Chain A
């Protein structure tokens, strides 16, 4: 056990009857981090969180929290607390009593409960709401109470199950900032489950991308965005262009990929690839450089290029999104709005270029 790992999962497997929803998951969660379990619905992220909380027993594997094997402990005897997707605030208690619920079970003295609950309500900026009933709260306020009710127990790990899913977009962004602030003030380890890649990238120290009951990739949001290791990862996090091709030659530094219309260069991704093997290139829309075909080619002599036509222009304020039809694929291209107001127009003949290192080589 490493001292800084607060949760360790070894070979966690979960089957419901004949259906296996988690396959042999190994995962370490570092003390104090915000770790996001990200993935499409049905990928097993919620089940994994419920296994950590103790609501679901594992079929195989062990769950270690703070060095102790809790695999067989019920939820009330694990040092974790959860914020539920629909909050699950007790309607028969007011805000104060909801937050005090865990401390009363621990038989804390009244004065101490009053003090700690008040401080916690201050932390979530609901200092004056102790006497409110749950049905009197807005969605955002209920969210804060749920957060306070869990955090007041000083859990080793706070589990958040899609906590913002029920909120509208504006409050969601505000709550993301609030979650970050509360994380900084308490220093608690957060495990955050979401299917929303924006939430994951904004909030996380590390993202665990899951698919079909397995972990696809673990990394910081930047790593995951810049160096996806699979097509699934490249597609799931952010917009991306995928170009299919075949290996023409594979050198130690550079791999040459035949796209059908010409050959492009891309950094070799570590493994040697056979000539003729089917591969894909992932290029982020903002990594492209696009200029009118009449203009001289982009500065780098090394650049890869595809010729095409501007098919669609979407003005987004600070950004402009273009669709560029090329013989291979329709490329998404994102440009920042140029100050001189020059924009490409629909139907213009253009050339889309990218530096070799802007693309990621992915095998199938």
Chain B
């Protein structure tokens, strides 16, 4: 009895610091922001109210949809490619290598700053960049390919580069739980290598895949620096719209409302993604056998 209550006290002591941190610096501010999204702003002054004006204003502006679509497109493409590229690499690291050298080498790309990597891609993709210069000197093209830089392609390529180590980290730790004997058991029971993947490995990595997808999705869809620097005409995302409300326009309630609309869009993506995994039978669960 004493032992049980001591264990509980211990558990509480371990959880409390991080919970308090999140409470004070995330949950409370987010709640305040949510309340604020129903307020009104008038010439840089906040007026407490309960109004849906900010929401309807955002939802009736076509620009909001265009920019949100840009954000979601960046996020979805980055997340999908990151997971698709990370999984084979994670497989290789978990089952085909001893030690973690390769893993650490991939994590090394984190040692350089985010902005440095964005500028590095500008150097590579630009009109006078590495790719265009090489192609022109080889005589394959006469004029630089302009769409390499300042396009969604450049944005997504860079975001994948930034996100890949995150995806890999999550998928490697998920795959480590799929011990080799599960794979052998499935083969033994008649599964082809592809069936091992779809019926054992992916369902057993379900949480890791959701984690890797959503993590990379939320960060890339919410990012407004990379698209701004590399995305060209389509480089505007909802993030910059929201930032502007807080920075220059001073319309906090409107910014808050758009932030929560974006959050709603993210949640929708989450539920659709989870549903999709279930429909594809890549999720754990019963198969209605009774």
Where the two chains meet, the residues of A that have a C-beta atom closer than 8 Å to any C-beta of B are 53-55, 74-76, 80-82, 84, 86, 88-94, 96-97, 100-102, 105-106, 113-114, 117, 130-131, 149-150, 153
Q: Do the beta carbons of A88 and B181 come within 8 Å of each other?
A: yes
Contact of A102 among B190, B203, B285, B289 (CB under 8 A): B190
A150 and B206 CA atoms in complex are apart in Å by 25
Q: Does B272 contact A (CB under 8 A)?
A: no
Question: Please, which residues of chain A bring their CB within 8 A of the CB of B287?
Answer: 97, 100
Q: Which residues of B contact A (CB under 8 A)?
A: 179, 181-182, 184-192, 195, 199-200, 203-204, 206, 284-287, 289-290
- Nearest CB in chain B: distance from A142 CB, A: 13
CB pair B286–A91 under 8 Å, yes or no, is no
Instruction: Kindly state the separation between the CA atoms of A223 and B158 in the bound complex, as whole angstroms.
Output: 72
B188→A90 contact, CB < 8 A? no
B192 contacts A76, C-beta separation under 8 Å? yes
Alpha-carbon distance between A150 and B287 when the two chains are bound, in angstroms: 20
* Contact indicator B184/A90 (Cβ below 8 Å): no
A-B contact count (CB 8 A): 79
Residues of B within 8 A of A100 (CB): 287, 289
Given contacts A97-B289, A114-B289, contact A76 B200 (CB under 8 A): no
Q: Are A153 and B190 in contact (CB under 8 A)?
A: yes
Contact B185 A92 (CB under 8 A): no
Residues from chain B with Cβ under 8 Å of A94 in the complex: 286
> What's the nearest-Cβ distance from chain B to residue A152, in Å?
9
Give 25 A-B contacts (CB < 8 Å), ordered by A residue. Answer: A75-B188, A76-B187, A76-B189, A76-B190, A84-B181, A86-B181, A88-B179, A88-B184, A88-B185, A89-B185, A90-B185, A90-B186, A90-B200, A92-B200, A92-B203, A96-B286, A96-B290, A97-B287, A102-B189, A105-B199, A113-B289, A117-B289, A130-B289, A131-B290, A149-B189
B182 touches A90 (CB 8 A): yes
Residue from B185, B187, B199, B285 with most neighbouring chain A CB atoms (10 Å): B185
Contacting residues, chain A, for B289 (C-beta < 8 A): 96-97, 100, 113-114, 117, 130
With contacts A86-B181, A101-B186 taken as known, whether A91 is within 8 angstroms of B191 at the C-beta atoms is: no
- Smallest CB gap from A94: residue in B: B286
B185 adjacent to A82 (CB under 8 Å): yes
Could you say which of A76, A89, A106 contacts B188, with CB atoms under 8 Å apart? A76
Residues in B whose Cβ lies below 8 Å from that of A84: 181, 184-185
Taken together as a complex, chains A and B put the C-alpha atoms of A100 and B289 apart, in Å, by 10
How far in angstroms is the closest Cβ of chain A from B186?
7
Please report the C-alpha to C-alpha distance between residue A165 and residue B182 in the assembled complex, in whole angstroms. 18
B132 to chain A, nearest CB (A): 48
Select A105's contact among B185, B195, B290, beta carbons within 8 Å.
B195
Q: Are B187 and A75 in contact (CB under 8 A)?
A: yes
Q: Please, how many angstroms separate the alpha-carbon atoms of A114 and B287 in the complex?
A: 11
Known: A93-B284, A97-B287, A130-B289. A88 touches B182 (CB 8 A): yes
| Chain B residues with CB under 8 A of A149 | 189
Give every chain B residue within 8 A of A54 (Cβ-Cβ).
Answer: 187-188
Partner of A74, one of B179, B187, B204, B285: B187
Distance (whole angstroms) from the CB of A37 to the closest CB of chain B: 17
Report Cα–Cα, A198/B286, bound state, in Å.
40
Report the separation of the CA atoms of residues A114 and B290 in the bound assembly, to the nearest whole angstrom.
8
Cα distance, A341 to B191, chains bound together (Å): 63
Contacts of B179 in A (CB 8 A): 88
Contacts of A97 in B (CB 8 A): 286-287, 289
Q: Which residues of A contact B187 (CB under 8 A)?
A: 54-55, 74-76
Contact A92 B204 (CB under 8 A): yes
A88 to B199 alpha-carbon distance, docked (Å): 14
Assuming the contacts A75-B184, A130-B289, A131-B290, asked whether A91 and B189 have C-beta atoms less than 8 A apart, the reply is no
Q: How far is the CA of A94 from the CA of B188 in the complex (A)?
A: 19
A74 cross-chain contacts in B, Cβ below 8 A: 187
Q: B residues within 8 A CB of A114?
A: 289
- 11 additional contacts (CB under 8 A) given A90-B200, A91-B204, A105-B199: A76-B192, A80-B188, A81-B189, A90-B204, A97-B286, A97-B289, A100-B287, A102-B189, A102-B190, A114-B289, A153-B189
CA distance A147 to B96 in the complex (A): 30
Give B55 Cβ to nearest chain A Cβ, in Å. Answer: 40
- Residues of A within 8 Å of B286, CB to CB, are 94, 96-97, 131
- In Å, the complex CA distance between A149 and B191 comes to 14
CB of B194 to closest CB in A, whole Å: 11
Contact check, B190 vs A55: say whether CB atoms are below 8 A apart.
no
Q: A82-B185, A100-B289 are in contact. Are A92 and B190 (CB under 8 A)?
A: no
Which residue of chain A has its CB nearest to the CB of B284?
A92
A105 to B194, CA, bound (A): 12
- A130 touching B290 in the complex, CB below 8 Å, given contacts A76-B191, A105-B191, A105-B195: yes
Q: Contacts A86-B181, A88-B184, A93-B284 known; A105 to B204 CB distance under 8 Å?
A: no
